[in-house]
Copies of this chain bind each other. A is one copy, B any other.
């Protein structure tokens, strides 16, 4: 009786599969590689406490009052400086809008650019939060295979020629869910194919700072193009609980996102913005990030070694060079959904691959997160998972 009131867009958006999984995996006896939580080591708790006191003393009522939709100037200035330095960009604060987490930036971009039926290209597999957000706006998704070195170039050529996507959404560094990174050559090849197309290119980069291999940091695809939107976030390097992300783009695009954001939540918590800005101005973020990377590197290595030690030899997995995830392929004919049930029985959890694909019921793939467990727990969990694989 209630359903008759619902909009078409909510009817086609399934309640999140991952949310359902996380309910199962919250039991304390279960070792969970299912979540995507940063390790609490990445929250500079003592420094944030000092910043709280300082902003309360320095800014008084301003940290509690309504504020501008586009976001706090000092925080946008910090972002501009960092991108100009790290990527040789030439941004000014009019190129930056603060969002309520990177998820909101995705929602706003959907609002601003996606008409019902518009073709949107995403990686295969892709981040499910984006799939959810854009499904609301009626996106017609097409997925292009993600390989070890980036997008599948032949498939990309065909997709661009045949489907003419209006928007593309890519995660070039330590992708969620696969952990894969685009090579320098692949970035060039991708840009070569899309540069003359009528296409907005979104590059989501929540994990780019978390590169724990020795290789150098790479520029974005077609860096500097007016049609590019870069998404960033403080969630993985300072705190996700404050819900602060940002979009970087041309002034014209930022203005449209601002109009959309005003209708969505007026502005993001100004307290959070003052707090993070103060933390960034008074601490060495790079030094803090080193600490996170050191931990994640050792956790990733532990998980990779355990997978080598325990998994059946025909099971494949990615070797992460940064970020928070590894991606496992069970091999032809296998089912990650069936494995999930066996694994839960053995008290270990993961995310089956299907929610990262469009219209796929079951897959041979699954996502493992390694950032939120100590090394003994990682080994024990992988052992249990290997046992479940052998049974399945």
A residues neighboring B (CB under 8 Å): 2, 4-10, 13, 15-16, 19, 35-38, 40, 43, 45, 48-49, 52-53, 56, 60-67, 69, 99-101, 103-104, 107, 111-115, 118, 129, 132-133, 135-137, 166, 198, 200, 227, 235, 239-243, 250, 252-253, 255-256, 258-260, 262-272
> Which of B37, B67, B253 meets A241, CB within 8 Å?
B67
How many whole Å from A199's CB to the nearest CB in chain B? 9
Copy number in this complex? 2
A48-B64, A242-B269, A269-B272 are known; give 18 further A-B pairs, CB within 8 A: A2-B250, A2-B252, A7-B115, A7-B118, A10-B113, A10-B256, A10-B260, A15-B259, A40-B61, A43-B61, A43-B64, A64-B240, A64-B242, A101-B265, A103-B265, A132-B262, A243-B269, A271-B272
A49 to B53, CA, bound (A): 8
CB-CB under 8 A from A65, the residues of chain B are 37-38, 40, 43, 239-241
Contact flag A111-B265 (CB < 8 Å), given A49-B56, A63-B241, A66-B241: no
CB-CB under 8 A from A10, the residues of chain B are 111-113, 256, 259-260
Contact flag A13-B242 (CB < 8 Å), given A69-B19, A272-B271, A272-B272: no
> Which of B13, B61, B200, B239 meets A45, CB within 8 Å?
B61
Contact flag A269-B256 (CB < 8 Å), given A43-B65, A64-B48: no
A49 to B64, CA, bound (A): 11
Are the CB atoms of A37 and B9 closer together than 8 Å? no
Are the CB atoms of B239 and A64 closer together than 8 Å? yes
Are the CB atoms of A4 and B198 closer together than 8 Å? yes
CB-CB under 8 A from A99, the residues of chain B are 265
Are the CB atoms of A259 and B16 closer together than 8 Å? yes
Residue of B nearest to A238 (CB): B64
CB-CB under 8 A from A166, the residues of chain B are 5
CB-CB under 8 A from A48, the residues of chain B are 56, 64
A267 to B265, CA, bound (A): 12
Contact flag A266-B103 (CB < 8 Å), given A61-B43, A112-B10, A113-B7: yes
CB-CB under 8 A from A9, the residues of chain B are 111, 115
CB-CB under 8 A from A66, the residues of chain B are 35-38, 235, 240-241
Are the CB atoms of B269 and A269 closer together than 8 Å? yes
Are the CB atoms of A13 and B263 closer together than 8 Å? yes
CB-CB under 8 A from A129, the residues of chain B are 262-263, 266
CB-CB under 8 A from A255, the residues of chain B are 15
